[in-house]
Structure 1
Amino acid sequence: MKKTVFIYTFFTMVIITVSIILLIIRQNSPRELQISIYNQWNDSFVRKIARGKKSYINTKNTKNTNIVLSEAQGYGMLIATEESYGDSKTAQKTFDRLDNYYLSNRYAKTNLMSWKQIISKNTNHIKKYRNNATDGDLYIAYSLIKAAKRWPQKAFYYKKQAKLLLRDILKCNYNSTTGSLMVGNWASGTKYANLLRTSDVLPGQFEQFYRFTGDKSWLRIKNNMLSSLVKLSKEHKTGLIPDMAWIKKDGSVVNVGNKSNFGKYNYCYYYNACRLPYNLSQSDDTKSKQVLHKMMKFFMSREYIAGGYTLSGHQLSNFQSASFGAPIFYAAKNSQKYNKLIQMEKYIFMQKLETDNYYQSVLVTLASEKFEKN
């Protein structure tokens, strides 16, 4: 009898202990998981240069060199401004080092960042490429505005930088004929001035730029670029949008097609367009919501999120892709009706960041901001 009571008591205590542990894990794990992702990001991709107190985001690690892209620098600066990214002083130091690197790698006599640099591991010598990439500079400007809000003691300095950069984006990357942003300043005066890279459509950021500068050009850009997405969205029942499209003289927007020289699948929903759920979900604009909800409805019908789709909805791969799933998770967290997608994509945050896949890792890190928000 005593033995039976002992066994019963023992198992009762085990059950209670396990329940308490599970409750603690449930309460703390989202936050701890988020911190873990930020730490992995720092360890894997943020590289310091002692001279000048600079840091850069390493997008590719080869034997003798590291490769930096302005897109990566912009994302890295944005991550550093997140409220949950480390303590405030450490986060600001990281941001300032990344900012210093951007400042020392501007293109020519502009405030635009050189779109690519190759850094020698042995000498820290930097080979700087000509021209800029629009998305990188947009995110650098946005991160500076966020930095001014988070660290008001340096707000004047960050705001001044942001205004100069936004001025040069409008000066060098704006196509007055289409009313949209070009893919880079190199496209000006060429047929590529009418090329739309759909991942450059950042309605939430454009709204912020207008409020920050008072320049209505940003509202016109937002309206025109979203109108282009609406036209592309209507082409297919899925609502999926290609990586790239042409803006025609009559205002129509057409897919670049499968004979373009922009990449194997740039006429599909691929590694540029996959950022759209993340971008569009940050705006309350009616057009933005219209395009996003149609895409999300398509994803709700999937058993898993694959690595790319034709615009009619056929998978381009048979594997689950965090690069595509992370932006969808981020967008789904804004609406209860997409709870299925939240549950489907939670697995992304339970895995370690892939240290040899910068692009996927940055999208997972950005999406982790929403992980603990229920």
Structure 2
Amino acid sequence: MTGRAEARVPFGAHAVPYAPGTLRPSCDDDPAAADRRVLDLYELWKAYFLRSGDEAGGRGRCAVFTPDAAHPFVAEAQGYGMVITALMAGADPDAHALFDGILRHVLAHPSVNHPDLHAAQQDADGRDVGGRDSATDGDLDIAYGLLLAARQWGGGHNSHDGHSDYDYEALAMRRIDAVMECEVHPTTRLTKLGDWSSGRYDEVSRTSDWMPDHFRAFRAATGDPRWDEVLDAHLSLAGELRARHAPATGLLPDFVVDTTSGEPRPAPGQVLESPHDGDYHWNACRVPWRLGADAVTSGDARTRAAVRGLSRWARAATGGDPGRIRSGYRLDGTAYGDPGSPAFFAPFAVAALTGDDGERERAAAQGWLDALWARMCASPPDPARAYEAGVRLQSMLVVSHNYWVP
């Protein structure tokens, strides 16, 4: 595959400034050194997890392979791939073609419930499995990736069969509208689990789907004021959950239940995935990255306060050693998981970007960021763990100041 259009916001240009006071890793001698670290990880991510051609369902297609998921191709990973390749344009001459290849896979697998949403799972033969319905996090990132592509490349370029152009903006608008119609609760304005959510699942929300920067981008792109309501609903609930259930840590649970009752709370046990659905587990581990990305790009005091609290707690709980971050915590900070997973330590580096107030506190935050960055760069990804690699790479894109909101 070869790219055809030059990037308007090339990787490494640091063309979109972050909020005032945002830190940078100081352990690399200049921003270009940090960029090289990201590019090295990106090349490994491509080699380990991108499939193309027959391995991805046909000529001209590309898809992110997930050996650690329930099925080889899942919506979450395709959303990651579209965001990553759009942000890496300018450094990777193939980024545009790779983006279009993943988009081609997504468009070939619509949800059974709505043609502008993505069927969440495909098997090794490219067949939709697991209900053929959607997962909200995948659609949020796919829509966001399309907005990035529209800014990056304009209207798209000729597909490999020579028959069509992709109008990224039009595709983004359709998907954003479909997300609002099918994956946002009409009363609470909280994200639902997917376009299939009904009955008792209609009042369950997954905190890793709470992506404030995406909601802001959707509002700007569509002019739809309901996205302001979505943003405020999520940030308000995040604050309430921290105050009521995790005042000492700021941790959020994987899943929140009773969202329509007026008294939302952490899942009391297994609601969807595991007995740890009410803990800071393998979904919520992304919260410091998701909220932190918004804090550094928007400067919103609500997300900045949330991630600063998380960062202070993590630094204190580990004594400033990222190697002690565990893969699972009760909301009171009691650890139960093993240490060492990038899915848990990398997002804390995004939170650490927000620094702290006061000279001594800011110096401590800088040291914590540097330690996290060094650990993020210390070892290659595990080829068997696409989820960890995707979270780490996207966290590194934010930490290196190569992330931006379209």
Quick check: TM above 0.5?
A: yes
* Alignment match, 2:369: 342
* Alignment match, 2:231: 222
* Alignment match, 2:276: 265
- 1:320 paired residue among 340, 346, 352: 340
- 2:311 paired residue among 296, 302, 308: 296
* Alignment match, 1:132: 134
Matched ranges for 1:14-25 at <5 A: none
Stretches of structure 1 that go unaligned for 5 or more consecutive residues are: 1-24
Given that 1:52 and 1:100 are in contact with CA atoms closer than 8 Å, whether structure 2 keeps it comes out as no
Given that 2:89 and 2:96 are in contact with CA atoms closer than 8 Å, whether structure 1 keeps it comes out as no
* Alignment match, 1:329: 349
* Superposed CA RMSD: 2.3
Higher strand share: 1
* Alignment match, 2:219: 210
Q: Secondary structure in 1 aligned to 2:188? A: coil
Matched ranges for 1:26-175 at <5 A: 26=29, 29-50=33-54, 51-60=58-67, 67-83=72-88, 86-87=91-92, 89-108=93-112, 109-120=114-125, 125-129=126-130, 130-154=132-156, 157-175=167-185
Paired amino acid for 1:148: A
Deviation of 1:321 (Å)? 2.4
Higher relative contact order (CA 8 A, sep 6+): 2
Given that 1:105 and 1:128 are in contact with CA atoms closer than 8 Å, whether structure 2 keeps it comes out as no
Distance 1:151 1:308, change over 3 A: same
Given that 2:68 and 2:387 are in contact with CA atoms closer than 8 Å, whether structure 1 keeps it comes out as no
Deviation of 1:348 (Å)? 2.0
The CA distance in 2 between the partners of 1:113 and 1:261, in whole Å, is 20
* Alignment match, 1:22: none
The CA distance in 2 between the partners of 1:218 and 1:316, in whole Å, is 37
Paired amino acid for 1:139: D
Stretches of structure 2 that go unaligned for 5 or more consecutive residues are: 1-27, 158-165, 319-323, 357-361
Q: What do the CA deviations read for 1:35-86 (whole angstroms, capped 9, x no partner)?
A: 2101000000000025340001100179xx9611100000011000114663
Deviation of 1:307 (Å)? 1.1
TM norm structure 1 = 0.85
Q: Secondary structure in 1 aligned to 2:196? A: helix
1:243 aligns with 2:287: no
Deviation of 1:367 (Å)? 1.6
Given that 1:332 and 1:341 are in contact with CA atoms closer than 8 Å, whether structure 2 keeps it comes out as yes
Given that 1:178 and 1:247 are in contact with CA atoms closer than 8 Å, whether structure 2 keeps it comes out as no
Distance 1:248 1:162, change over 3 A: closer
Q: Secondary structure in 2 aligned to 1:223? A: helix
Paired amino acid for 2:293: Q
Bigger shift: residues 311-320 or 258-267:
258-267
Given that 1:194 and 1:246 are in contact with CA atoms closer than 8 Å, whether structure 2 keeps it comes out as yes
Larger radius of gyration: 1
Bigger shift: residues 321-330 or 288-297:
288-297
1:194 aligns with 2:199: no
The CA distance in 2 between the partners of 1:96 and 1:164, in whole Å, is 17
Deviation of 1:112 (Å)? 0.5
Q: What do the CA deviations read for 1:196-254 (whole angstroms, capped 9, x no partner)?
A: 10011111110010000000111101111221111111122111111011134442211
Paired amino acid for 1:344: A
Bigger shift: residues 43-52 or 266-275:
43-52
Given that 2:66 and 2:386 are in contact with CA atoms closer than 8 Å, whether structure 1 keeps it comes out as yes
Q: Secondary structure in 1 aligned to 2:72? A: strand
Bigger shift: residues 250-259 or 135-144:
250-259
Given that 2:78 and 2:138 are in contact with CA atoms closer than 8 Å, whether structure 1 keeps it comes out as yes
Given that 1:243 and 1:272 are in contact with CA atoms closer than 8 Å, whether structure 2 keeps it comes out as yes
* Alignment match, 2:21: none
Given that 2:287 and 2:347 are in contact with CA atoms closer than 8 Å, whether structure 1 keeps it comes out as yes
Q: Secondary structure in 1 aligned to 2:302? A: helix
* Alignment match, 1:9: none
Deviation of 1:289 (Å)? 2.4
The CA distance in 2 between the partners of 1:102 and 1:80, in whole Å, is 15
TM norm structure 2 = 0.79
Paired amino acid for 2:389: S
Higher helix share: 1
The CA distance in 1 between the partners of 2:202 and 2:105, in whole Å, is 29
Bigger shift: residues 294-303 or 96-105:
294-303
Paired amino acid for 1:341: W
Deviation of 1:127 (Å)? 3.6
Distance 1:260 1:182, change over 3 A: closer
The CA distance in 2 between the partners of 1:373 and 1:142, in whole Å, is 18
